[in-house]
Structure 1
Amino acid sequence: MLSGILNRNFIVKFILTAAALGILGAILAMTLIFTGAINLAANTSDPKWFYNLVHGTFKRWVAVEAYGIEPPEDLEDEGRIALGAQHFAQNCVRCHGAPGIGQNPMVLAMKPTPQHLPSVIDQFTDAELYVILEKGVMMSAMPAWPAPDRADEIWSTVAFIRQLGDMDAATYVDMVSPEASDAPEMEFGPLVEAEPMDFYLTRYPMEEHLYAAPTGGFADYALAGVPVAQCATCHGAEGDGAPTTGEAPNLTIQSPDYLSAALQSYAAGDRHSGYMQVVASQLSDSQIDALANYYGDTLETKATVMDEAPDAEVVAQGETLAMVGRPEDGISACLDCHGRDGTANADGVLVPRLAGQSQVYMARQLRQFRSGGRGHTSIWSPMTGVAHNLTDADIAGVSAYFAGLSPMEPAPQQDETPPATPAQVETAETQITQVCSECHKEDMAGAPSGETPNLTIQNVDYIERQLYDFRSNRRDNSRMHQTAIRLDDEQIDALAIYLDGMEPLVRQPAEPVSTDLTLGEQIVRRGLPTEDVRACLTCHARENTENLPQIPNLHGQNANYLAARLDHFKTAEDEEITDYSPMWDIAQKMTTEQLNAAAAWFASQEPVAK
């Protein structure tokens, strides 16, 4: 019993002593901080033990973080090394030096002092270099990668840095020097105050600034005055991506509007790239427009030269995806959005031209879309959802197919959807009579209450896509899933073609969810700029729903059905919506009153003619 009391006394004394020491330590630390006794000056030398402690901690942290990271197999690829060289020359050499180039005296006065990479590169593995570039180093001047989800760019930079140990000065200068070109000067123009974004269909590309203030006033004169010279280091003097053997995209195949939107998106951080965000943020609006016109109009349009012809079977697989897609996996035909005539543009929704683009570049972009790290150029970007279901073989095939097409020449035309055959009519009418009419009514215009949608206003591609999504459960609706799993591909095609051929009807509820058509029209036409809500017509304009089959027709749809769908987007937890649908993000920013008003306005309009 006595020993138990003694043990308890010891424990109490130990706890009290530890608490007292903790309090004293905290008081001492606060005293040192508030009195300025801790010397943080960079012009003093640290004891060797302190340097070893800090540097040893850094080395162990990097080694632990790098454990299990497998470098890609193509780090020796010349194009990848060339692309990494340009980033190093723009952003790294000033602190870390290069072959034949020492470090700036101002850099050497930093604490900790950045290491001269050519001298120490062999001390780090490829995985460790990746960690340092991706995460940066706290309490040093080493920043994290501006676009941490762009692993492809980080590895390209690692690929170049790995070469520094054996590289001579002449080789380095040759790699990072821009090609000779008659690059025109592009004045930076006056700095102006940033304006809030305002979304109008009639003003695209947008004139407003997408970023608070360009940093070009602090850029090198070479970039601020003649940005083409800097662009040429990666994209080549002719804009076709030749210096990096296709790692950088071919710019000459794109329209000025698309190029301008892409640069604005990089500058705003909407499109992710540790390379391009740095460059684009240094450009003024006038320079962005000048560059877009230079590459999109002035230079000759040409295809990226492929090192070798791709395998015919790979191209054939890509052609199938490009022409018809794979609806059962939620993959639409690429040409539905990217243009059967090569223009690839719908009003307000810019999509890039793909014919003649670099195979290497397209493959990397598709993998980035698949991983969710690509970001977007236009307001509406379905590619993350589409690429989510692409296999590596799909990506190889699609990129090879489009790379082999001649730019600006129309891609092969897919035949227009023919009228339903007698057999398809019989199949569709049987399904409608026996199954569909129970909910959608015999005329397929939906229930007046809005519990089911009006299908007569939709096009064949949209209906087909939705039925495949219901069947695979990508679109969450238990009743439709149970119906769709009983349909084979031929029955789905028959229903979609038959419904596409129906005359659009209008059926509205007796008591719509809203009668505020003024508010609805404002949201639909202009959006809610203060809430960062885009105008609905940016995507759902009549022209876009004809050109982009993933976008449903809303004109003439049942008001209560639309309101219910918008509320579903607002409250959804399904990752197919929260991760891949732009509607989830939009609906989060709107009130129920605003959602209902937008639904009521669309319901009051005449359906889009088929």
Structure 2
Amino acid sequence: MMVKVTIGRAVLALSALVTLGFGVAAAGLVPIAASSGHWKITDWFLHWTMQNSARTYSAVQTPRDVRDDTGLVSAAGHFRQACQVCHGAPGERPSPVMQAATPPAPDLAKTAGHYTDRELFWIIRHGVKYTGMPAWAADGRDDEVRRMVGFVRRLSSMTPAQYRALTVQDAPAAAPPVIARCSGCHGADGSGRNQRDVPILAGQDAAYMAATLRRYRDGGRASAVMQTAAAALDDREIDTAARYYASLPGLPRRDVAPLHPIAAHGLAEAQLPACARCHREGGTAPRIAGQRQNYLAERLRHWQGEETVIDAHKPQDPMAVIARRIPDEAIDDLARALAAETR
């Protein structure tokens, strides 16, 4: 005997299923233990859904440039601090505790090839729900995400020796213990290991460096790399690291010389003050004479700001206003002039 299907009966059946589902959930019968794992079909479906989502959203939520292969040291340093424990690294096994998650973090040397650069950028930038994969810890730092994409792309061919060379630089025996946490990226000599995106710390003002580290630690300045590095430092370690790098030969201890019109005089028509007005010996602004050219230009462009750049919207930071008054076409020449200052 056929049962006639009507709208009323369909609604009643659906309501019964929903009620049953809520009843099962309310009774705590849904197994959420990571130790229980997923059924194979559930695992396949969730992974398939994630891949489709990454493919779709990466097509509309990523910038034009999504990969930078020039900042491997800073990206590798962050990977070592924040990612290695889950994913492992060349010559380094992942934590067995983290591998007991459901799902466990994949070996990126094997799985990154399944994704395009644009998809990798989106996953690193936004994270993945229900997997333990977090979003990037600092908004507005797409430059850091691009460098991480470049680093992840290298993992499949990277040797343990190459990974160690990127992430570890032994500090002198006389250096304070905290310098071992900094030297991997900044070098034991504070030179930034000649990396385009890492500033020179040697000779920088100690008070400025200490204040900047505290801002990173407390979330007042945006950088997933530096916020992670500074999070574990107490005030004593911050002051010790700042004094150590300030004592090394590097950036000149003097005022900015007039090697560029904006550095010397500013732009009156744009209400732009001269760099030399604040960046002088004994002032509260950092030393920029002799600083790395690419780092200076990149910082100025961050302050000029895409809409997502947090630093450029901090009212207590005067550089947010000043940088936006510098003509974009003048930034590279200004950075080159400042970097050429004799050390």
> Which TM-score band applies after superposition, normalised by the shorter structure?
0.7 to 0.9
Residue 135 (str. 1) matches residue 126 (str. 2) = yes
What is the aligned length? 330
Partner letter of residue 72 of structure 1?
D
Aligned counterparts, 1:379-418, within 5 A: 380-407=316-343
Task: Tell me the alpha carbon deviations over residues 548-605 of structure 1, each in whole angstroms, 9 at most, x when there is no partner.
Answer: xxxxxxxxxxxxxxxxxxxxxxxxxxxxxxxxxxxxxxxxxxxxxxxxxxxxxxxxxx
CA distance in 2, matches of 1:23, 1:393: 64
Number of the residue aligned with 1:147? 138
Q: CA deviation at 1:90?
A: 1.4
Residue 352 (str. 1) matches residue 313 (str. 2) = no
Q: CA deviation at 1:371?
A: 1.3
Q: CA deviation at 1:22?
A: 5.0
Number of the residue aligned with 1:45? 37
CA gap of 1:97–1:83, structure 2 versus 1, over 3 A, is same
Contact kept, 8 Å, 1:256 with 1:295, in 2: the verdict is yes
CA gap of 1:43–1:394, structure 2 versus 1, over 3 A, is same
Number of the residue aligned with 2:3? none
Partner letter of residue 266 of structure 2?
G
Aligned counterparts, 1:485-564, within 5 A: none
Contact kept, 8 Å, 1:181 with 1:229, in 2: the verdict is no
Q: CA deviation at 1:97?
A: 1.4
Moved over 6 A (4+): none
Partner letter of residue 75 of structure 1?
D
Residue 56 (str. 1) matches residue 51 (str. 2) = no
SS at match of 1:114: coil
CA gap of 1:73–1:144, structure 2 versus 1, over 3 A, is closer
Task: Tell me the alpha carbon deviations over residues 285-319 of structure 1, each in whole angstroms, 9 at most, x when there is no partner.
Answer: 111111111112x222347xxxxxxxxxxxx9x81
CA gap of 1:380–1:46, structure 2 versus 1, over 3 A, is closer
Number of the residue aligned with 2:295? 361
Aligned counterparts, 1:184-195, within 5 A: 184-185=175-176
- Match 2:117 to one of 107, 114, 126: 126
Partner letter of residue 237 of structure 1?
A
Number of the residue aligned with 1:276? 226
- Match 1:258 to one of 201, 204, 208: 208
Q: CA deviation at 1:355?
A: 0.6
Number of the residue aligned with 2:277? 336
Q: CA deviation at 1:49?
A: 1.6
Partner letter of residue 78 of structure 2?
H
Q: CA deviation at 1:74?
A: 7.1
Contact kept, 8 Å, 1:152 with 1:364, in 2: the verdict is no
Residue 238 (str. 1) matches residue 189 (str. 2) = yes
Max radius of gyration: which structure? 1
CA distance in 2, matches of 1:351, 1:130: 34
Q: CA deviation at 1:119?
A: 1.1
CA gap of 1:354–1:17, structure 2 versus 1, over 3 A, is farther
CA gap of 1:18–1:299, structure 2 versus 1, over 3 A, is farther
Number of the residue aligned with 1:157? 148
CA distance in 2, matches of 1:17, 1:402: 78
Task: Tell me the alpha carbon deviations over residues 204-236 of structure 1, each in whole angstroms, 9 at most, x when there is no partner.
Answer: xxxxxxxxxxxxxxxxxxxxxx22012111111
Q: CA deviation at 1:164?
A: 0.7
Aligned counterparts, 1:13-162, within 5 A: 14=7, 16-17=8-9, 19-21=11-13, 23-68=15-60, 69-70=62-63, 72=65, 75-77=68-70, 80-162=71-153
CA distance in 1, matches of 2:225, 2:133: 16
Task: Tell me the alpha carbon deviations over residues 185-212 of structure 1, each in whole angstroms, 9 at most, x when there is no partner.
Answer: 4xxxxxxxxxxxxxxxxxxxxxxxxxxx
Contact kept, 8 Å, 2:279 with 2:286, in 1: the verdict is yes
CA gap of 1:89–1:183, structure 2 versus 1, over 3 A, is farther
Q: CA deviation at 1:337?
A: 2.2
Q: Which runs of 5+ in 2 are unaligned?
A: 1-5, 253-257
Q: CA deviation at 1:262?
A: 0.3
Q: CA deviation at 1:110?
A: 0.9
Residue 228 (str. 1) matches residue 179 (str. 2) = yes
SS at match of 1:46: coil
Contact kept, 8 Å, 2:81 with 2:228, in 1: the verdict is no
Number of the residue aligned with 1:300? 249
Q: CA deviation at 1:23?
A: 3.7
Q: CA deviation at 1:265?
A: 0.5
CA distance in 2, matches of 1:374, 1:182: 39
Partner letter of residue 357 of structure 1?
Q
CA gap of 1:144–1:106, structure 2 versus 1, over 3 A, is same
Contact kept, 8 Å, 1:184 with 1:228, in 2: the verdict is yes
Partner letter of residue 230 of structure 1?
R
CA gap of 1:29–1:236, structure 2 versus 1, over 3 A, is same
Number of the residue aligned with 2:255? none
CA gap of 1:18–1:271, structure 2 versus 1, over 3 A, is farther
CA gap of 1:280–1:40, structure 2 versus 1, over 3 A, is same
Partner letter of residue 188 of structure 2?
A
Contact kept, 8 Å, 2:67 with 2:149, in 1: the verdict is no
Q: Which runs of 5+ in 1 are unaligned?
A: 1-12, 186-225, 304-315, 408-610
Q: Percent identity?
A: 30
Q: CA deviation at 1:374?
A: 5.2
Normalised by the size of structure 1, how large is the TM-score? 0.51
Residue 322 (str. 1) matches residue 263 (str. 2) = yes
Structure of higher RCO (CA pairs closer than 8 Å, 6+ residues apart): 2
Contact kept, 8 Å, 1:135 with 1:145, in 2: the verdict is yes
Number of the residue aligned with 1:449? none
